[in-house]
Amino acid sequence: MWNRVGAPLLGRERESGSLERLLVEHRAVTVVGGAGVGKSRLAADTLAAMTGGPWQRVVRVRWDGHGRATPGVLASEVCQALTGRRPRREADVGGLAGQLPGPCPRVLLFLDDVDPVHAECTGVVQRLLMAVPTLRVLVTSRRALGLGDERVLRLAPLSTEVAPGETAGDERTGSGPAGDERTGNGPAGDEPAGARGRAPAVELFLARARAVVRDFRADDAALRDVAAICRAVEGVPLAIELAARQVTQYPVGQLAELVERRQCWLSNPHAAIRRHRSLRDAVGASYVLGERAVRAVWGRASVFAGDFEESTAVFVCAGGGVEPHQVPGCLAQLAAMAVLEPVCDPGGLRRPRYRMTRAARDFGAERLAEAGEFAVAAERRTLHCQRVAAVAESLWSAGCQSQAVRLVQAEQDDLRTLVHEAPTRADDAAAALEAVLNLWFWWAVHDTAEEGRGLLLRLLPRCPPDSPLVARGLWLAAWLTAVSDPREARDLLGRAWPAAVLAGDDATVGRIAHVQGVLALHRGDERAAAAHFQEAARTIPATAPGGPAPAVSLAALALAQSGFAPGAAWASARRALAQPGIEGDAWACVVARYARAYVDHQQGRSGRAWHRARRVLAALDESLPAPCGVVALRQLIADIEAGAGAHGRAPRLTLPRARTATPSPVLAGIATAR
């Protein structure tokens, strides 16, 4: 009935079974997915494997043309394939019932790669299903037809990871207006990928590499490089196969670096289908079908390194013949073409967010550079990133810290791109430095100190030395460096202090004193540390943005005093919790309550300390990254419970005084996010 056109694609057994079931149960089925995901191969292999079905013969019409086709051409091709003769006019397609051979022919019409004639295909399929009740239709396209009786199988890329304890390729189904059935990534054959310990994408790469290099072997290091290649191409089978062919020219380690930088160069000049001869051609097949505005938005949106909101795309992509009101519609079309992936439900309560696939982003960047628009789009993205960093800092200072963290999480890819592109002009470096400084809480509070320190040390030499940003940058770099390299931190503070004094920046002067207190604790000089923290708490204005509040310095003061002045430590901890606006500063509140619990424990009130620490942990938002101080809180609870007995019950107030670790390393962890 049907000849197999090639070896089955590895990792698609589950999807093939789903397609077979849909073909048996429904009259119209469409396999949709992005460029190179394997729609045609899956459909052909599934039909080849079905020895019997509710049809007598299969008729395949493959659209091999490029660009937009003349109206009526597809209808003519379908009529000729079904009847053996071309119709005299397009209306004859609706009268095929009387022309098909046999009294009640049962035919499966396979319309393959119909993207260039998508609109016409929708009309042809609708008329045929109405005219021929026994007809079944299978379509492969990047977009669904949108018919009421249509069932859609969305083909995702192969999984690049194997979840522990799960079989790769678990099927996830859902229903939509058109009976949308979503299948998960990966295989589900007799031997699941999880049992082999390799992701389906890695298995496909190894199989194709051995097809071109018969003795190809991959040790553990090579397998890590192969996995990196598969992640870089996002599990797209065509890209994996094209990359695997390159093992004849490059070691897999070098190949992983090349693919991470660019992907459209991957090619196979011997591929039977012209658009599969390179990844650029495969992605470009969608580009040539789009309207001018859609192509322009595609190119301009390629400057985004990660997810982006619809409103952000309007800011970056509008202009040059594209009106702002056109951008949302263009984004929806690109999503329908699988160029963009909706990050959240476009019809949900949250604002629409999109992510451009990696290959589409590389292709769009090439088109953007050819159009001479890259500099303008990149400048608009830079302005957007500056605005995001400023808004995030304002949210943090206003007490909306969870919103600030979520905003940075959503935009962190583009924020990193802003500062990693190594700006050469002083103005660009100053803009990037300002964004890094506005994100001080992300580096210092949420365990990304090393990244923030590296960015600061990279940007500071490129900024004018008399810039007011430099003193703040030196202070923040010293704070983030205090644990890993105290000597360098002292050098940075020595440069920051005179600049802050000359600028009259009391907040930075006070925060420099706070870092000096941290360094004093590292030396074991608790009295000197207490003096520095006392000065910091007096000097930092209560509402000064851009760094920790005075309550953090008071909490640090309590920890430093706990070793030599318990009464003063208890008073300092209470002062920290009594600071104006402390309830609106969630992180400062965590630090201050830790200090109160720590001092209570040192003074023998371990039961009270245990309850305080537990309440702080219970109030944290588990959907957000844990702020620094949480590890110290958990350690304090563990120390108290270790003294309470093996059952871990809350200790009673009559427990003897027990001292935990010295405050120096604990404070260092709180103060520098280490």
Strands, E assignment, 28-77: 28-32, 57-62
Whether the CB-CB separation of 610 and 651 falls below 8 Å is answered with yes
Boundary residue ending a domain (149, 182, 215): 182
- What is the CATH number for 297? 1.10.10.10
Residue 69 lies in a domain: yes
Burial-class residue 127 by CB neighbours within 10 Å (0-12, 13-18, 19+): middle
Measured on CA atoms in the order 226, 227, 231, 234, is the torsion positive or negative? Answer: positive
Residues 353 and 263 in one domain: no
Q: Given this model, what pLDDT does residue 297 score?
A: 95
Residue type, 43: A
What letter does residue 657 receive in the DSSP assignment?
Answer: P
Q: Given this model, what pLDDT does residue 657 score?
A: 31
Chain-centroid distance, C-alpha 124: 39
Q: Given this model, what pLDDT does residue 300 score?
A: 95
The CB density around residue 653, as the number of other CB atoms within 10 Å, is 12
Residue 33 lies in a domain: yes
The torsion region of residue 36 among left (phi > 0), alpha (psi -120 to 50) and beta comes to: left
Q: What residues does 57 pair with on adjacent strands?
A: 107
Helix axis angle for 586-602 and 566-577, nearest 10°, is 160
Q: Given this model, what pLDDT does residue 304 score?
A: 92
Q: Which two tokens stand for residue 321?
A: 């013949």
- Rounded Cα distance between 251 and 265, Å, is 17
Boundary residue ending a domain (158, 182, 206): 182
**Side-chain-side CA neighbours of residue 534 (13 Å):** 12
Q: Which two tokens stand for residue 222?
A: 């090579």
Q: Given this model, what pLDDT does residue 95 score?
A: 58
Whether the CB-CB separation of 53 and 24 falls below 8 Å is answered with yes
Residues 110 and 255 in one domain: no
Residues 106 and 234 in one domain: no
Residue 101 lies in a domain: yes
Residues 202 and 347 in one domain: no
What letter does residue 309 receive in the DSSP assignment?
Answer: E
Boundary residue ending a domain (321, 355, 371): 371
Residues 571 and 637 in one domain: yes
Residues 629 and 664 in one domain: yes
Enumerate residue ranges in the chain where pLDDT < 70: 1-11, 51-53, 64-70, 86-105, 163-197, 345-350, 422-427, 644-674
- What is the CATH number for 175? 3.40.50.300
Q: Given this model, what pLDDT does residue 424 score?
A: 58
The domain of 617 spans 566-672
Q: Given this model, what pLDDT does residue 414 score?
A: 87
Q: Given this model, what pLDDT does residue 437 score?
A: 94
Residue 337 lies in a domain: yes
Residues 624-648: tens digit of each pLDDT: 887 877 888 888 888 888 874 333 3
Q: Given this model, what pLDDT does residue 602 score?
A: 84
Residues 273 and 323 in one domain: no
Residues 163 and 17 in one domain: yes
Residue 30 lies in a domain: yes
Residues 253 and 303 in one domain: no
Residues 166 and 222 in one domain: no
Residues 156 and 220 in one domain: no
Residues 138 and 178 in one domain: yes
Whether the CB-CB separation of 263 and 240 falls below 8 Å is answered with no
Measured on CA atoms in the order 459, 464, 468, 474, is the torsion positive or negative? Answer: positive
CA distances 638 to 301, 469, 642, 644, 670, Å, are 49, 42, 6, 10, 17
Count of helices and strands (H, E) across the chain: 29, 9
Residue 542 lies in a domain: no
Whether the CB-CB separation of 34 and 141 falls below 8 Å is answered with no
Q: Given this model, what pLDDT does residue 1 score?
A: 30
Residue 525 lies in a domain: no
Domains in the chain, number: 4
Residue 409 lies in a domain: no
